[in-house]
Amino acid sequence: MGKPTGFLEFARRAMPSRPPLERIRDWGEDHPRLTEAQLAEQGARCMDCGIPFCHTGALIGGMASGCPLNNLVPEWNDMVYRGQWREASIRLHFTNNFPEFTGRVCPAPCEGSCTVGINGDPVAIKTIEAEIADRAWEAGWIAPSPPLARTGFAVAVIGSGPAGLAAADQLNRAGHAVTVFERAGRVGGLLMYGIPNMKLDKGVVRRRVELMEAEGIRFVTGVTVGADVGADRLTADHDAVVLATGATLARDLPIPGRELGGIHFAMSYLRGNTRRLLDGGAASEAPIDARGKRVIVIGGGDTGTDCVGTAIRQGAASVRQLEILARPPDTRQPGNPWPEWPRVRKLDYGQEEAAALWGEDPRRYQTTARRFIGRSEHVTAVEIVDVAWAAGADGRQELREVPGTAQVIDADLVLLAMGFLGPEPALPKAFGCELDGRGNVRTGADRMTSVPGVFAAGDCVRGQSLVVWAIREGRMAAEGVDRYLMGGETVLGT
């Protein structure tokens, strides 16, 4: 814990941000930082709560309650309070391979289950985590540490997103020779192309990848396993394989007019923009530009928010966001008690920027698109309608249109950000892996698939989820691989 009375003495102070109208002028994630004294106060707010729910990592109501990585939050909060930053970094890295990523992009389920948050503001755990990680890099405490000995076993990891990187990092620590295959031109997967630069600077990703290379991990980019390299070749050349390809099969919206130009999946939009920032774009996928356009984002999750923030920075004339769910309440409701994830309305960075530009939150709740309207084979408008949930004949809740609420809104660019259905099936099929009823790769508790020696981790197993869950999955798969290769023994722990 921090100071016994700290949570009574000090107010919560989260990571500062630049004013919205300033930060939309660039793609940087720069922000002011708290002073050491301010951070010590935030660490002091961590109370001696007896059972620290912040690192339980349980699933309640289908959502994370506490940190899925079981980060030892009270311990490094106390160290920050006492000014023991290097010790805090060691403790943080004990459970989290990449705190510089989670400290930036994790929605912080740890804070949702913080005991101080029962009747007050939770400890600013995410702010402290990010600062510990950044200070460790700046001080040079994070340096290459290759394993002292090698086992002689070779492992292939397919996919270099957070799950793949975590699995590779853990397996390399165990002494196995690890090769990571990535079909894109750069390492990082979702971290590199799916999360915009203003949330996660790509230099932060490259820095970690370079460290992993220095520790002995081999990265092969621009290679599609199953096409450029056969699955049989990979299994023949390696003692184990880990599939960590994510859930990249986007959910479509098959309504009239879907064939019109100007309607794109959110990931194509975000990926193309990141490539443009990094190297001027890719010939095979021309960047989609929102400059001067009336943009409609369909989907209210994190990806939808990223589309809003990206379109604003590209110079969109306007941005509207359609959310099929009801507007969340402003405060936690009785049916959503602590330590569940608080289902409350939040103004994320994209919505905050839109409100600063145009005077209102761009989200329209309980609304869906009915059809796309176009001219000259390009979208010009979207017909939308309000919806409501009502009990059907079988008693289950179903979505119904509200009569008399249809209207047409202008649109030059429509971005579909409605989530993902699961992994692309070609790769699991190439290895002969069984899929579950949702189309995800079926695995056992050790993350081995139906094929001996082939493991899977991350969103391709869980379905669309959080970066922190992907890291956890990667660590679990690595432990399963290590036990498989070492005859039941493992030096790893999740």
pLDDT tens per residue across span 396-419: 888 899 999 999 999 999 999 999
- Residue 437 and residue 413 share a domain: no
Residue 494 in domain:
no
DSSP SS3 for 218: strand
Residue 146 in domain:
no
pLDDT tens per residue across span 251-266: 999 999 999 999 999 9
- Residue 230 and residue 186 share a domain: yes
| Strand duo 63-65 + 363-365: pairing | unpaired
DSSP SS3 for 275: helix
The tokens describing 475, both together, are: 């660590």
- Is residue 450 within 8 A of residue 209, CB to CB? The reply is no
C-alpha to C-alpha distance for 208 and 143, rounded to whole angstroms: 10
- Is residue 127 within 8 A of residue 14, CB to CB? The reply is yes
* Upper half-sphere CA count for residue 17 (Cβ side, 13 Å): 17
Amino acid at 86: R
C-alpha to C-alpha distance for 400 and 67, rounded to whole angstroms: 36
C-alpha to C-alpha distance for 268 and 28, rounded to whole angstroms: 21
- Is residue 409 within 8 A of residue 381, CB to CB? The reply is yes
- Residue 132 and residue 104 share a domain: yes
Residue 345 in domain:
yes
- Residue 241 and residue 276 share a domain: no
Give me the domain span that covers residue 364: 252-418
C-alpha to C-alpha distance for 424 and 460, rounded to whole angstroms: 9
- Is residue 10 within 8 A of residue 44, CB to CB? The reply is yes
- Residue 460 and residue 387 share a domain: no
Which DSSP string corresponds to 39-50?
A: HHHHHHT----S
DSSP SS3 for 131: helix
Give the H/E segment covering residue 155.
strand 154-158
| Among candidate residues 485, 435, 453, 454, the one with its CA nearest the CA of residue 244 | 454
Domain CATH number, residue 72:
1.10.1060.10
| Domain boundary residue, one of 139, 168, 194 | 139
DSSP SS3 for 341: coil
- Residue 407 and residue 273 share a domain: yes
Q: pLDDT 10s digit of each residue in the chain, 494 long?
A: 678 899 999 999 999 999 999 999 999 999 999 999 999 999 999 987 888 999 998 888 888 899 999 999 999 999 999 999 999 999 999 999 999 999 999 999 999 999 999 989 999 999 999 999 999 999 999 999 999 999 999 999 999 999 999 999 999 999 999 999 999 999 999 999 999 999 999 999 999 999 999 999 999 999 999 999 999 999 999 999 999 999 999 999 999 999 999 999 999 999 999 999 998 655 545 589 999 999 999 999 999 999 999 999 999 999 999 999 999 999 999 999 999 999 999 999 999 999 999 999 999 999 999 999 999 999 999 999 999 988 888 888 888 999 999 999 999 999 999 999 999 999 999 999 999 999 999 999 999 999 999 999 999 999 999 999 999 999 999 999 999 999 988 888 76
C-alpha to C-alpha distance for 234 and 218, rounded to whole angstroms: 15
**Total of domains in the chain:** 3
486 phi and psi angles, rounded to 5 deg: -100, 15
- Residue 391 and residue 295 share a domain: yes
CA angle (134, 478, 215) in 5-degree steps? 50
C-alpha to C-alpha distance for 198 and 104, rounded to whole angstroms: 10
pLDDT of 397 reads 84
| Strand duo 420-422 + 249-250: pairing | antiparallel
Domain CATH number, residue 369:
3.50.50.60
- Is residue 480 within 8 A of residue 106, CB to CB? The reply is no
| Domain boundary residue, one of 403, 418, 433 | 418
- Residue 110 and residue 33 share a domain: yes
Name the percent of the chain in helix, strand, coil, to the closest 5: 35, 20, 45
| Among candidate residues 246, 250, 248, the one with its CA nearest the CA of residue 473 | 246
Residue 22 in domain:
yes
Three-state DSSP string of 371-437: EEEEECCEEEEEEEEEEEEEECCCCCEEEEECCCCCEEEECCEEEECCCEEECCCHHHHHHCCCECC
- Residue 398 and residue 353 share a domain: yes
- Residue 412 and residue 369 share a domain: yes
Give the H/E segment covering residue 294.
strand 294-298
- Residue 258 and residue 207 share a domain: no
- Residue 372 and residue 258 share a domain: yes
- Is residue 365 within 8 A of residue 351, CB to CB? The reply is no
pLDDT of 491 reads 86
Q: Does 287 sit behind a cis peptide bond, omega within 30 degrees of 0 on the bond before it?
A: no
C-alpha to C-alpha distance for 92 and 129, rounded to whole angstroms: 8
The tokens describing 452, both together, are: 């001996």
| Partner residues linked to 59 by β-bridges | 64
pLDDT of 494 reads 61
C-alpha to C-alpha distance for 460 and 235, rounded to whole angstroms: 19
Burial grade of 236 (CB within 10 A; 0-12, 13-18, 19 or more) = exposed
Residue 353 in domain:
yes
- Is residue 164 within 8 A of residue 148, CB to CB? The reply is no
| Domain boundary residue, one of 373, 402, 418 | 418
| Partner residues linked to 58 by β-bridges | 65
| Among candidate residues 452, 433, 441, 445, the one with its CA nearest the CA of residue 479 | 445
Residue 144 in domain:
no
Give the H/E segment covering residue 64.
strand 63-65
Q: What is the chain's Cα-based Rg?
A: 23
Residue 314 in domain:
yes
Q: How many Cβ atoms from other residues are within 10 Å of residue 445's Cβ?
A: 7
- Is residue 336 within 8 A of residue 112, CB to CB? The reply is no
Whole-Å CA distances, 386 to 81, 364, 369? 50, 9, 9
